[in-house]
Amino acid sequence: MERILFGDNQFFAVNHISDEKSRAQSIKFREDSAIIKTLDEARAVGVNTFMCTTHDRIARICDVIRKDPEKYKDFKIYPCMPYAHKYANAVTELGIAGTIKQYVPGNLVGTMFKGGMAYLSKDFHSIMELLIDAEMKMFKGVNTPVVFLQNVITDLFLGLRAYDILIGFHDYVKKKYNAEAGFITMNMPKLLDVLEQGGIQNPIICSSINKVGFRMSGGVEIYEETLRTRKLRAIAMQVLGGGAIHPKEALEYVCGLPNIESILFGASSKANIENTVETIHHFDELKQA
């Protein structure tokens, strides 16, 4: 994985500290072209990996990328699935069975419903695989070397102790897409235990890692300890603590931690992208020196 990954929250009006800022972002990125422009600005400073939710709009961004293979030859997307709101809205409207019907592609659905709900309940792994395929469809022809499970799902299964589902996700992504599985979580140390016990060595785990301990369940100490002593490929997200920490101080902290393979960040303006990238490089060089 590259040292710096570009995130997508700003494109979809996700802002952890201000509804006003989120509204402003929603206006700025109303057109897909504004998203492409920002991605190009990130590419211009060497950030070639875009980590994004499988939002409907991403399908259109993928169209743009496919149309210009030369321009985007080094460009990678790390899909993060599922786009939970899509399913949550569908469940409200159609119910669980209706949602599966709507999103699980192909004739299998017909077969499953003919077999009744008993079939559905007995083979959750097959349903999951169909849902992964459905989410991956939009990325056909785009380079997706790592595929992530969103934290809301990772952590839900973690709490439900449905550990085999997490392992199943890992295995299927590898088998079907020849990609590595990644897990986004707000409970990194706990997840690492579970993945290791399930036989996944050195897993890719993306979690909040920041100086103030924001969304670091159990506290900063256990995260630092885990990074120091355990084997994982860590991606730090929410490094600014949702905006609570001064960017320079925030990045100095994260760059100084051991075992962080990549840093995920999102920004809307060219200046912010350039500053962040420059600052990360600066602290990385200091560390090496």
Partner 1 sequence: MGISHLSILGAHPDVEVVGVCDTSKMVNDFLSKHGGFNCFTDFQKMVDEVKPQAVVVAVPTKFHYSVIKYLLEKGISVFAEKPFCLNTAQGEELVALAAKQKVVNQVGYHNKFIGTFGEVKRVINSGALGEIIHFVGESYGPVVIKAKQETWRSDPSEGGGCLLDYASHVIDLLNDLLAPVTKVKGAILQSIYSKNVEDAVYALLQTSSNVSGVLSVNWSDETYRKMSTTVTIVGTKGKIISDANELKVFLKDEDKKIGYSKGWNVKYITDLTEQVEFYLRGEEYSAQLDYFIKAVGGKVPNTINTFQSAWYTDRAIDLIKKSAV
Contact yes or no for 215/238 (Cβ under 8 A) = yes
Q: Binding string to partner 1 for residues 167 to 206, with x set by CB under 8 A, is what?
A: -------------------xx--x----------------
Q: How many chain residues touch partner 1 (CB under 8 A)?
A: 49
CB atoms within 10 A of CB 112: 21
Does 213 help bind partner 1 (rule: CB under 8 A)? yes
Alpha-carbon separation of residue 152 from 46, 81, 205, 243 (angstroms): 30, 10, 14, 21
Cβ distance to partner 1 smaller for residue 217 or 272: 217
Residues 221-260: x where in contact with partner 1 by CB under 8 A, - otherwise, as a string? --------------------xxxx----------------
> Closer to partner 1 at the Cβ: 187 or 276?
187
Residue 278 makes contact with partner 1 by CB under 8 A: no
Q: Which stretch binds partner 1 (CB under 8 A): 29-37, 103-111, 159-167, 260-268?
A: 159-167
Interaction of residue 96 with partner 1, rule CB under 8 A: yes
* Out of 72, 214, 253, 265, the residue judged to bind partner 1 by CB under 8 A: 214
Q: Which is nearer to partner 1, 64 or 109 (CB)?
A: 109
With binding defined as CB under 8 A, does residue 105 bind partner 1? Answer: no
Residue 121 within binding range of partner 1, rule CB under 8 A: yes
Determine if 92 is a binding residue for partner 1 (CB under 8 A): yes
The nearest distance, CB 96 to partner 1, in angstroms, is 7
Among 144, 146, 140, 112, which Cα is nearest to 126's? 112
Paired tokens of 85: 């709101």
Does residue 45 interact with partner 1 by CB under 8 A? no
Nearer to partner 1 among residue 44 and residue 156 (C-beta): 156
Q: Contacts for 134-139 with beta carbons within 8 Å, 24 or more apart?
A: 134/103, 134/104, 134/105, 135/54, 135/79, 135/81, 135/82, 135/83, 136/79, 136/81, 136/177, 137/105, 138/54, 138/58, 138/59, 138/62, 139/62, 139/77, 139/79
Q: For partner 1, which residue of 46, 106, 115, 219 counts as binding (CB under 8 A)?
A: 219
| Distance separating the N- and C-terminal Cα atoms of the chain | 22
Q: Are 103 and 131 in contact (CB under 8 A)?
A: yes
Scanning the structure block, which residue is given the tokens 């299927």? 172
> Two tokens at 281?
């490089």
Q: Give yes or no for a contact between 73 and 44, defined as CB atoms under 8 angstroms apart.
A: no
Q: How far is the CB of 20 from partner 1 (least distance, A)?
A: 8
90 binds partner 1 (CB under 8 A): no
Query: Of 18, 33, 197, 202, which lies in the binding site for partner 1, with binding defined by CB under 8 A?
Result: 18
Q: Does 145 bind partner 1 (CB under 8 A)?
A: no
Binding site for partner 1 (CB under 8 A): 12-20, 22-23, 26, 85, 92-93, 95-96, 117-118, 120-122, 124, 152, 155-162, 164-165, 186-187, 190, 212-219, 241-244
